[in-house]
Structures are given as C-alpha cells and as structure tokens.
C-alpha cells in the first residue's frame, strides 16, 4: 500500500504516520540513512507513539510511561528498567517492523512479511512509466466531429478551437504541436514525451488502493482507505502533482491545470502543502470528481439489495473486472480464473 510521499521522510529524524483500518504504521528516517516502517505502538502497554501527523524528532517517546525508541526501532530508554523481573530484552521490545520500500517518489508498505519485492509486485508499471508510454487505441464516431465536452476541454487548455479545421483523426497532433509551441512560455520540458504522452490520459490501478492518471503536465493520484469500523464508508485522498518548469524546484499551483475537471487551490507553496480534509458535499472537488461521487451513495446502497446478484461488466469497463479478479484472488485461498468474453 502507498503509505505517503518520500519527501516527508527525506532527512534523518523525519517521520510520518499512515493509518489503514485499525492499524497505524509509523514511517521513519533513521540516523543511518535508512527509511523504515513500524507498527505505531509502544511495546510497554500498547499506546500509540505518534498521532496522525508528520514531523522530525531524534527519537520517539511514548506519552504514557516515557518509553523511548530511536528511529531505527531500537530501544533508547526504559524508565525504571530494574523494576521488570522478567527483564527488558532489547530484541523482543524493539518496535515491530513492517515491510517498506520506495518507488516513484513514494513510500510503500505491506503488513505481509512474506510478500514479494515491490518492483516484482508492480509488474510492468515501472517499465511503462519510465518513458511514460503505452499504446492507447480509441474508437472514433462516424462523423469524426469534436463533441462539446472536448471543445470545452480544449478551450480550457488554451487550444485555438475556433481556427482548427481538422477532426478527431488529426486532433492529437495539432494539440501536441500547440503544447510544444508553448514550451518557451511555460518552461515545461516536453522533449522526452511523444504526442500520445503529451495529449492522452494514462490511467493505472495498483491493487488494492491506488489509482493515478498521467498527463503531460500533471499527475493525479487517488488513494482509497477503508473506514476502520463501517464498511459502507471510506476515505478518499486526492493528490495533484505538477511538472516542474526547467530551472525551478517547485511548480505553480495551477501549472498545466485543467480547471474544468478538478478544483485547485489558488496559492503556490514551497514546502509541504497543507492537507485539506472535508466530508463529501461540503465543498466541490471539481466537475469530474463531483459527477463521479454523486452516484457513490446510491451504488453502495444498491449493492446491499437482494435484487443485485452481481456486476455485469462491459469490455469498456474491463479495469473493474480486472480489479475484482485480483480482489478475489488475494482474498480467496482458491485459484480464480479470469474468463474472456467473446
């Protein structure tokens, strides 16, 4: 599972907390330069060492009885250690470690000690994302015309729709050429991207809880976490990453943004951005996400109905079929076969 951003543990002493269901995991950067993950629980009486936050500290101190740990998980100090007749064996009382690896600027964890290495688990994804290219065939309508949604999107991108005389068969090259012509103006380096990479939306799912969309200018990453007690509720994290202009170390808040689809902040931040938490309906997440989320409550209720016997998935929705295939494979001890539909 994606626990958090690697930049949150970039320096010795850095730490952050990742929570999933009733488990809390503490990710640390120790003085030896190694990033590790531990169950966020003191080995004395079970108190959580850190709340849901990130920060920097040379050691971890339990607020209950003052037990202290170094960021490599080893014991720093146990008050009144002489009062434990069974002793205080360091190897038994150090923090319990969780599998932890880094890829793509993020820290990934697994509570399964026997899981395969992260790169092996991700399969083809790192190879695809290295040059950020996969084929993306699309079906085109008979009239080959641009629909209104596409027109509005192109306008939001600054593309001169009114003067465009082609159709969808040659639109991609025209949009890519327009974006490349803007390179000097916005200082974004597109030299290593193909026209397809520069104009398409590459959508990936990493089981069990990560979805990300790659564009020429941005990446959207969505992380889903289950509610710890209510299976009909969940936490939805939305993160937007902008391509950094040449010669800069940070990108503007709306660099290459498409305001038609997502709600973006107005400020530009140099450090870690503040995380904004709100319940569904309290504020807009942008047209696209608002439309998607508007059906979720009804779908969740419908899935409980005796009249719903199972999903009926089309070829266009094959990502959903693939998700359920892997869900059943991981949750069941029996082998699962994915049947092709002619």
In total, how many domains does the chain have?
4
Q: Give per-residue pLDDT as tens, 5-56.
A: 888 999 999 999 999 988 999 999 999 999 999 999 999 999 999 987 889 9
Yes or no: say if 256 and 218 are a contact pair by the CB < 8 Å rule. yes
Does 315 share its domain with 291?
no
CATH number at residue 115: 2.102.10.10
Does 82 share its domain with 21?
yes
Residues spanned by the domain of 17: 2-122
* Integer Cα distance of 162 and 142 in angstroms: 22
For residue 65, tell me if it sits in a domain: yes
Looking at the predicted structure, is the pLDDT value of residue 244 above 80?
no
* Integer Cα distance of 293 and 317 in angstroms: 17
Residues 134-145, mean pLDDT to the nearest whole number: 42
Give the pLDDT confidence score for residue 340 in this predicted structure: 55
* Integer Cα distance of 299 and 127 in angstroms: 35
């Amino acid at each position: 599972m994606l626990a958090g951003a690697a930049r949150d543990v970039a320096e010795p002493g850095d730490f952050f907390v990742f929570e999933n269901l009733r488990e809390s995991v503490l990710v640390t950067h120790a003085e030896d330069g190694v990033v590790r993950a531990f169950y966020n629980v003191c080995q004395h009486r079970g108190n959580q060492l850190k709340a849901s936050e990130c920060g920097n500290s040379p050691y971890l101190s339990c607020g209950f009885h003052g037990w202290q740990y170094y960021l490599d998980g080893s014991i720093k100090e146990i008050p009144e250690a002489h009062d434990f007749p069974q002793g205080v064996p360091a190897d038994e009382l150090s923090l319990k470690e969780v599998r932890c690896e880094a890829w793509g600027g993020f820290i990934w964890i697994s509570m399964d000690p026997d899981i395969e290495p992260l790169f092996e688990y991700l399969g083809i994804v790192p190879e695809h994302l290295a040059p950020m290219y996969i084929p993306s065939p699309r079906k085109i309508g008979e009239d080959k015309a641009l629909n209104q949604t596409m027109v509005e999107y192109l306008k939001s991108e600054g593309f001169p729709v009114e003067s465009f005389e082609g159709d969808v068969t040659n639109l991609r090259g025209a949009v890519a050429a327009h974006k490349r012509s803007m390179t000097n103006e916005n200082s974004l380096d597109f030299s290593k991207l193909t026209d397809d990479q520069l104009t398409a939306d590459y959508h990936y799912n990493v089981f069990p809880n990560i979805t990300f969309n790659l564009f020429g200018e941005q990446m959207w990453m969505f992380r889903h976490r289950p509610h710890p007690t209510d299976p009909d509720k969940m936490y939805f994290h939305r993160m937007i990453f902008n391509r950094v202009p040449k010669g800069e170390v940070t990108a503007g808040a709306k660099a290459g943004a498409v305001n038609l689809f997502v709600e973006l902040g107005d400020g530009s931040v140099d450090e870690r951005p503040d995380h904004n938490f709100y319940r569904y309906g309290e504020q807009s997440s942008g047209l696209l996400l608002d439309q998607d989320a508007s059906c979720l409550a009804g779908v969740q209720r419908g899935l409980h109905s005796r009249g719903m016997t199972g999903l009926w998935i089309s070829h266009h929705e094959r990502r959903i079929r693939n998700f359920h295939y892997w869900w059943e494979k991981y949750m069941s001890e029996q082998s699962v076969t994915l049947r092709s539909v002619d």
